[in-house]
Amino acid sequence: MQSTILFLFFAIAVCRCCATAEIIEGNDISIEFDKQLTITFTNDKTSDVKFRHQQSVIAYCFRNFGCVIEDERFNIMHFESAKRNEYILTSKDIIHTDLCGVYECNDMLNKEKDSAHVSIKGFDNETYNATEEKDTIYLTTACIFHVSLSDMKIVWYTYDDTTLKLLDETRMGHSMTPFNSASVCSDECGTLSAYRFTFGLNITNQEQGYTNVFVETKVFHPDYTDKPLTWRSSEKIRVKESSPKTPIFGGSRYMLLSDSRGKETPTPRHVETQPL
């Protein structure tokens, strides 16, 4: 009995000597693409603390001298109370791929530490690069996370100054060939790499049975189907005049969605023809 009491007393004493250091947000942090990075580190001991990103030092916070920033991309605040110390690390700008990866907070005196892997989520439907040339048009998205090329949906339309019409394979004919590709942005942003996706049309001019119209595209992320990336060409392009096919299923009008692999998928949308 006496030995048990001594053991418990010793265990309690040891625990009280050890600092409890942790990252409040957890060990796997996903941040919306348009938000700032924020990591909150707490420590129940007043100590000297070091912050690192991908093994590079971000900042030091010393008991008597405050915090010293080593990486100018970040700010850090320190709040001290009777029971614990709280450190809030934030990025000066919104999250981007260079800020992905592993963050580590170290209590340098008590040898306690915690770490978190930071990745990005969301779909930036306003940032892209568009290219228009005589024989090709294409757009490249900003970095997109946690999806592959086959997960994305691409829909092409024409616009004749009054009406938006589906541009399907029948209207493309032999004059247009769709293409797509993916390039890696960063391999630090999660178990799946972050990609920039390119979607485009190769164009062969035809002389008869064609009309000049603007071309529009909508790019759909599987998790944000209500917020597609929308782009319209600045110049008119020659497109076949025939009407697009619009199959009917169960009395509802569907349009054919062509995914990034060229496979057509009937999807309920009431936008085959839209007066603007």
At 53-111, the pLDDT tens digits run: 999 999 999 988 899 999 999 999 999 887 889 999 999 999 988 898 999 999 999 88
Tell whether the model's pLDDT for residue 173 goes beyond 90: no
With CA atoms as reference, report the closest residue to 124 among 141, 101, 148, 106. Answer: 141
pLDDT at 246: 43
Task: State the CB neighbour count (10 A cutoff) for residue 11.
Answer: 10
pLDDT at 14: 40
Tell whether the model's pLDDT for residue 221 goes beyond 80: yes
Burial label, 65 (beta-carbon count in 10 A; 0-12, 13-18, 19+): exposed
Contacts 24+ apart (CB under 8 A), 59-62: 59/89, 61/87
What φ, ψ does residue 151 adopt, rounded to 5°?
A: -80, -20
Identify whether the C-beta of residue 63 lies closer than 8 Å to the C-beta of residue 80: no
Tell whether the model's pLDDT for residue 189 goes beyond 90: no
pLDDT at 93: 96
pLDDT class for 21, splitting at 50, 70, 90? confident
Tell whether the model's pLDDT for residue 1 goes beyond 60: no
Burial label, 14 (beta-carbon count in 10 A; 0-12, 13-18, 19+): exposed
The conformation of residue 191, written as its DSSP 8-state character, comes to S
Average pLDDT over residues 221-244: 86
Q: Give the C-alpha separation, 71 to 68, whole Å.
A: 9
- Mind listing the domains of the chain with CATH numbers? 19-121 (2.60.40.10), 128-275 (2.60.40.10)
Count of residues making up the chain = 276
Q: Give the C-alpha separation, 24 to 90, whole Å.
A: 14
pLDDT class for 244, splitting at 50, 70, 90? very low
Q: What is the pTM of this model?
A: 0.69
Mean of all residue pLDDT scores within the chain: 81
Name the residue with higher pLDDT: 206 or 20.
20
Q: Which two tokens stand for residue 268?
A: 């309920």
Q: Give the C-alpha separation, 23 to 9, whole Å.
A: 29
Average pLDDT over residues 29-40: 94
Q: β-strands 112-121, 28-32: how paired?
A: parallel
Tell whether the model's pLDDT for residue 252 goes beyond 60: no
Report percent pLDDT > 90 for the chain: 53
Tell whether the model's pLDDT for residue 20 goes beyond 60: yes
Average pLDDT over residues 29-36: 93
pLDDT-wise least confident of 62-66, 111-115, 125-129, 236-240: 236-240
